[in-house]
Amino acid sequence: MNRNIAIDGPSGAGKSTLAKKIAKKFGYIYLDTGAMYRAFGLFAIENGVDFTLPVEDNKKVLEALTDNFTLDVIYEDGNQQVYANGKNVTGLIRTPEVSIAASKVAVIPKVRLKLVEIQRNIASKNNVVMDGRDIGSYVLPDAAVKVFLTASVEVRAQRRYEELREKGNAQVTYNEVLSDMKFRDANDSSREFAPLKQAADAVLLDTSDMTEDESETALMEIVKSRIEE
């Protein structure tokens, strides 16, 4: 029987960074579900969807796009590569524009159901560390370990801002990232279908006052205590 680890939390909480380290430590596969929604968001942008419009205005178009969307997750040198319709989009899905698109497409039930099917299929065949918004509460309700990872919105925005700058995005500003973060928090928490929330049996880990190393140590202890039960 596969043992899966679910790490949920808001945007910029450090889920992906820490989940990768946990996966490496325990020899599990890391699956970044947020990248899947970003990939679909990018696909929608490339197909002319205007995300300045209300979500309901785009709903039928987005639902139709799911019929023409394929997604593959491939691991190259231990790193997850996301392919949308045969194209590697891993390096194209971390912009603020795609972040907003990802949050908006994620409220469409048909989009979520398609991607959740892919996620559950991968988890059924492997021990995985999966991070996202609703992994413990919806995607993998029977996960062996559930953690809700969070930090204040200001701290999360600063971390994401520094990450984007390090990756060469010289145009982005802290205020833009903070605004995007607040929008995503509100959108993710208020959506009707599988909203962002802490599962009843998840452990809360607030890293606002922790360094990355301290956060990793704290998370590692939580996972280790439950994996070894």
Give CA 95 to chain center in angstroms: 14
Strand partners, 74: 81
Strand partners, 128: 29
Distance CA 152, CA 207 (A): 8
Confidence of residue 227 (pLDDT cuts 50, 70, 90): confident
Burial of 214 (0-12, 13-18, 19+ CB in 10 A): exposed
What pLDDT score does 155 carry? 96
Q: Which domain holds residue 166?
A: 5-227
Q: pLDDT tens, 59-100?
A: 999 999 999 999 988 888 878 899 999 999 999 998 989 999
Q: pLDDT tens, 161-196?
A: 998 999 888 889 999 999 999 998 998 898 887 788
The CATH number of residue 16's host domain is: 3.40.50.300
- Residue 2 pLDDT more than 80? no
CB 99 within 8 A of CB 11: yes
- Residue 32 pLDDT more than 70? yes
Grouping H, G, I as helix, E, B as strand and the rest as coil, residue 219 is helix
Number of structural domains in the chain: 1
Alpha carbon distances (Å) from 78 to 24, 31, 177, 228 = 9, 11, 29, 25
What pLDDT score does 229 carry? 63
Residue, of 110 and 170, whose pLDDT is higher: 110
Distance CA 48, CA 130 (A): 30
What's the mean pLDDT when you consider all of the chain? 92
